[in-house]
Chain A
Amino acid sequence: MALPQTVPFIGWAWDDLIFLVLAGLMLGGGLMVVLGRDIIRSGLFMVLSFAALAGIYVLLGAPLVAAAQVLIYIGAISVLILFAIMLTQSKAGPSNLVFHHQSWAGALAAVGLAVIIIVVVIYTDWPGAATGVVASATTLIANLLFTDYVLAFEVVSVLLLAAVIGGVFLAKREDSPDPGARAVDEPTLGRLPAPRDES
């Protein structure tokens, strides 16, 4: 059974409907990230926003980027951020005052930025733009990666190595000689109590 050419009862193309649904999910998720009071929920809505963006990448004919979005953003960065949230939550944390007192200025700046971007996009005639989506073949991307962009590829690998080393160095705690002394002056963030000295 084949789908009809357009959406029944509305008459839109299917792509338009999917685009609108994904755009609504992405912007709604983004708004919930920014406006939500519970920061763990903010993190979960960020996953929703990333997933909708992966769908938009598929709509744009870039399935490789969509797969990388799911792997890197949803799989790695979101999990990293959720872990960091859980490590930095405290009882005396921010439950009632989520925004700065000057957040109205931030809202003004954001609305102004959105208006400027929309006006510029609408009134610019993009040169060389086709009228439809041109899907990018994965073999083309792979060829470009190892010919024109091979230097950037190597530099990114060095950058990732530096980031790993830097992250481990920054987040590592200073070793105190006595593990029992450490557990006293730090609140246990869901960790097990310090092991008792056997000797």
Chain B
Amino acid sequence: MSQSLDAYLILSGLLFAIGTFGFLARRNAIAMLMSIELMLNAVNLSIVAFGAFVPSLAGDGALIALFVMAVAAAEATVGLAIVIAIYRNKRTPLVDEYASMRE
């Protein structure tokens, strides 16, 4: 089981689906960002799994996963800064209260 590519890809797909649900269903902006992190981790898992199982990708998979981590760190920094900036104006972390761009 731990030696088959399918097991890792299914695990990655399940984690991605969990993150999708959290992103669609949670009201808190930070909970949505956490769900995005889960989805990024799921994608990283599938990248590393392909790198480990396809011999011509040995090394490339791990390297691309490292780049994804760096980009995820940048995304978390800017995303959380935006959430804190909005919170400072609106006094609430709930995204369905952020309706001012509609009006």
Contacts and interface: CB of A to CB of B under 8 A. Distances in A.
Interface of A: 13, 15-16, 18-20, 23, 26-27, 30-31, 33-34, 39, 42-43, 46, 49-50, 53, 56-57, 59-62, 64-65, 68-69, 72-73, 76-77, 80-81, 84-85, 87-90, 92-94, 97-100, 103, 105-107, 109-111, 113-114, 117-118, 121-122, 126, 128-137, 140-141, 143-145, 149, 152, 156, 159-160, 162-164, 166-171, 173
A162 B74 CA distance: 8
Contacts of A100: 24-27, 96
A105 B31 CA distance: 18
Residues of B contacting A: mostly: helix
A64 B59 CA distance: 10
Interface string B35-48: 10110010011001
Interface string B1-28: 1111111111101111111111111111
State the 6 A-B residue pairs at the shortest beta-carbon distance, nearest first.
Answer: A106-B24, A117-B13, A163-B74, A110-B21, A34-B22, A103-B25
B6 to A, nearest CB: 5
B73 A76 contact: yes
Interface string B66-103: 11011111111110111111011001111010000000
B28 A39 contact: yes
Contact of B2 (A19, A26, A39, A134): A19
A114 B87 contact: no
A136 B58 contact: yes
A33 to B, nearest CB: 6
